[in-house]
A and B are shown apart, each in its own frame.
Chain A
Amino acid sequence: MILVERKPLETVEDVQRALQYAIEIEHSTIPPYLVALYSLGTAKNDAIREILRGIVIQEMGHFALAANMLIALGGTPRFTDPAFVPNYPGGLPFKIGDRDGKALVVHLAPFSIELVRDTFMVIESPEDPLHFQVKPHPALFAALAVDQETYQTIGEFYDALKAKLTDLGDAAFTGKDRPQPTGFPGDVFAIRSLADALRAIDVIVQQGEGTKTTPLAGGGTAVAHYYRFEQIVKGFALVADKSVPEGYSFSGDPIPFDPSGVAAILTDAKTSDYADGSMARRVALQFDTAYAGLLAALETAFAGAPDALTNAIGMMYDLLIFAQKLMATPAGNGKNAAPTFEFPVPVAP
């Protein structure tokens, strides 16, 4: 279960703070998902890659929806504060995933089944995950206990947000006519009313966790992130199955994993891991610089200049190219270099 620290939610300012918090949560999942995705390259593991790619794009969409909600409520999203980017390995913002005093430690690591099971599924977990039979595999995942006093799930966090927004009503949407970028990866729309905001929250929650009764996201046919990841762990697609009481089972197309398709790259790479003057150091700094530039362009785009999105999207592809260059650059001990996601850009010693 994904748990986040409980915060008070009384005023519009509280809601604005909560939305900035939501942006940081949605963003914090992207670097670990991207490193895993990048590490798969393009030669093998097509089905797994498509699952990861689809999830990353939707996370980017959630990020943008949360930012548009903040704009509509009169706030200004900030993406360039030094604390905006988590330090990996480490906890996600607001103690996401922590439970019983134990931190969920998230790594920037190459793809593995364990990474999906022990980290990605924990990040995306609903309060009470639905359980589906694996045919022929046994279930692997068990529900987790919760301390409801100090923690809540992301779903609960968004439920509280919905309640407060409903309470505040349309009048709180003082920024509804401000420019809101929509030409962004994922299902992104402008927030012009309370109804739009409630719909945005449903998209975010259901694409991530599904609903309490179905693994599907938002009434469509797409499976929520938690169950998409679970498909990778089980090795089969989750499909409707009238022969079982749950209505779904992991009995669809196989989702095979070929470990030989994963790049042998460093885990939790830092620019300082690479020798001064080396090609890996040079490219890692370029990667971090492009990442910083991407965040700056996004901040501009969400601060009234949606045209800057073109610049941001261009830099996303630059990140991919730098990541590929890093992953093809030897970094010693038989491993290749890996994307660093260090922000602010480390200053050369």
Chain B
Amino acid sequence: MARMKFLCDAERCIECNACVTACKNEHEVPWGINRRRVVTINDGLPGERSVTMACMHCTDAPCMAVCPVECIYTTDDGVVLHSKDQCIGCGYCFYACPFGAPQYPRLGNFGSRGKMDKCTFCAGGPEPDGSKEEYEKYGANRLAEGKLPLCAEMCATKSLLAGDGEVIEQIFRDRVEQRGYSSGAWGWQTAYGEDVTS
């Protein structure tokens, strides 16, 4: 089994937001929820970099550790998924997440945030693969069809890589070697406890 990871090469990101759009469209994500977003650091200044970020599917995921009802789990592929049936919308995963990945349909309303929603690495949820219920709650299950996340597939500059951690790490390492500079694999140290060694 491959250990699935995301990698954002900020040297290539042109902030086109195609990944955001692809994600929203593929999973019919409701208005107000963004499973993926593009953040621009030092906007308009020398050294500006854009980074696309979603759930990084962490090793030893903090959201999973703090969930009071244990509705978050890791698949054999290392993808962090959750059960919306069990989620109580307490918001703890959002407090713990280093990447701001968990999203809620509502804010406040006396804490009734609604069921948490986040990036599934296009791998659906606990329902049977490809079922109607799974699609309605979590969106498409591309992984079950042998496809990788659509955000990375759509990325025109291949800034965003998704797939087997070792493979995408090697691609990134080769790029860094070739061009001779890098601002790092954003979030890797925080998500996986190890940085890309180049």
**A and B are partners in one complex rather than unrelated chains:** no
